[in-house]
Amino acid sequence: MLTVENTLKWLELFNAKIQAEKDYLSELDTPIGDGDHGNNMSRGLLAVHEALTTQSATDVPSILKTTAMMLISKVGGASGPLYGTAFLEMAKLSSTTLEVAPLLAAGLAGIQKRGHAQVGEKTLIDVWTPVIQAVEADMLDGATIETAVMATKDMQATKGRASYVGERSIGHIDPGAASSGYLFTTMLMAGVV
C-alpha cells in the first residue's frame, strides 16, 4: 500500500541508487545502445528529487504526478517518456486505489501503450511483468527482481535502439531492465510491499 511517507522514501532511495549506478547503466547501454541510459536517468531522478524537496507534496497522486512530469520533461531518450508515462498512469489510478499491484499494472499498461513492446523483446517490460506477477502473489523478493534483470541478457532486442544491433544485442543485460530492477529493489527497501 502506498503512503505519502513510503512513496517519498521509495523515490529518494531510487534517486540515490540511480546516482550511484549512473556509470554502470551507461556502460550497459554502450554495446547495445548509445551509452546514455545512466546519464538520462540521473538527470531525471535529480529533477524528481529537487521537485519533491522544494514542493511540499502532501498526497500520493501529486507525488506520482510530479515524478511523471519531471521524467517526461528532463529525460532525453526513450526511457523518459516510458518511465514518465508509467508514473502518470499510476498517478491517475492512485486517486482511486493505493494498492501496489493495480498501480504497477496501470504503469506497465502505459509503457506498453507508448512503446508497443511485448515480453521477451529485451526491454524494461521484461522486469515489470514478472515483478507485478510476484506482487500480485505477495511473493516479491530481491531474487525475483535479479533473475528478471539477468534474463534479459540472453534475449535479442526487437524494440528500441538495441534492436539496431540485431543478434549482437544477445549477451548484454538491457540497461532499462537494470534501472527498473533498481526501481523495484528500492520499492522493497522502502517497505511499499
Binding site for ligand ADP (CB under 6 A): 29, 33-34, 36-37, 40, 77-79, 82, 111, 115-117, 123-125, 159-161, 174-177
Closest CB 40 distance from Mg ion, rounded Å: 7
Inter-residue contact 172 to 153 (CB < 8 Å): yes
Do 119 and 126 contact (CB within 8 A), yes or no? Answer: yes
Euclidean distance between the first and the last CA atom of the chain, given in angstroms as a whole number: 7
**Measured distance CA(31)–CA(99) in Å, rounded:** 38
Query: Residue from 38, 44, 61, 77 that binds Mg ion (CB under 5 A)?
Result: 77
Residue 1 Cβ vs ligand ADP, minimum distance, rounded to whole Å? 27
Span 164-183, contacts to Mg ion by CB under 5 A: none
Least Å distance between CB 181 and Mg ion?
17
Asked if 33 interacts with Mg ion (CB under 5 A), we say yes
Judge residue 53's burial from the number of C-beta atoms within 10 Å of its C-beta, 0-12 exposed, 13-18 middle, 19 or more buried: exposed
Q: Of 22 and 37, which CB lies nearer to ligand ADP in the complex structure? A: 37
Q: Binding to Mg ion by residue 34, rule CB under 5 A?
A: yes
Determine the Cα–Cα distance for residues 30 and 45; give it in Å rounded to an integer: 21
Which CB atom, from 43 or from 65, has the smaller least distance to Mg ion? 43
Task: Say how far apart CA 90 and CA 77 lie, in whole Å.
Answer: 21
The Cα 45–Cα 130 span in angstroms is 24
Q: Which does 129 bind (CB under 5 to 8 A by kind): ligand ADP, Mg ion, none?
A: none
Q: Which spans of this chain sit near Mg ion (rule: CB under 5 A)?
A: 29, 33-34, 36-37, 77
